[in-house]
Chains A and B, each alone.
Chain A
Amino acid sequence: MNARRALGVAVGLLVAASCVPGPFERLNPYDPNASITGRLEVLTDTVSAYLEIAEVRLITEPAFDVDALPPTWVSDQSAILTPIEGGRFQLISTPTVPTSVTVRAIYPSFTATAVIVAGRP
């Protein structure tokens, strides 16, 4: 066997065989140590009518399927604006003065926050 060719085959085999990957990325948002960042994009910034729906969308880096891995949605004034599903909040009590309500999408690895104004201006 030609020496150069044999060496080439040997190197090729070694390279092909060295396919043990590096550390796997921590990409599950439920993992407290995951390296994920996220923010809430407000689609409806003001709600005034009774039972009106305000909507926010969770944007993450890196992206993942939020429907499959949903966060826990919370509102700091749930008596006014209560979470219903998938980033949607419903006005269940109309305040007499406009009130800023903070809504959050909570994962063990990060929390995204947004503000929605409830009540007539």
Chain B
Amino acid sequence: MESDLLNVTLLSIFVSGTATLLASLLAIPLGCFFGMRKFRGKEVIRTITYTLYGFPPVVAGLVLYILLSNSGPLGSLQLLFTPTAMILAQTLLVVPIVIGLTMSAVSTTSKDYTETAIILGADSWRTARTVIHEARVGIISAVMIGFGRALAEVGAVMLVGGNIQWHTRVLTTAIVLETREGNFGYGLALGAILLTIGMIFFYLMKRYQDKGMLT
């Protein structure tokens, strides 16, 4: 049971961490771009991303299941019931959050800092860098919130991962299983591990965030 627990915990960190990293790589540049530029349809994008914040994980999981199923269009990739599928599902859930929050962080700082940078002689590339740099506290928060959503999510990984012991069982799906089996105490203990991981991560990011403000 102990190695099982370690396996489940590490897989949780691996899946949610990779998903958050992938989502950030994709969403931070997009969020920065949307946040800095003024263009038609910006409000539409904003509305869509805000709506997707509340996108039910189980629906994301269902959509991905239909795509990855052997009778679905991407069945030949053989990704269903693998950690890769779980990472994809959580990436889908985290991307809108990171885009949306990055976008608002960047548009707020953009208003204040674009002109200051231009006046002091920055070219457009440097101006963009400055704005993003000034928005870093907000962007780090976006990543933190995204990771929190990925780590806590159960509906999507249950569907596309299948909660297979040793393979695709993560903390949240293990909690569902333990609860079903009547092991409420063990389920709660797993919940405590989940919270601890979240707390360690938030603590590290917060420290980094504070440093980002000071230096």
A binds B: no
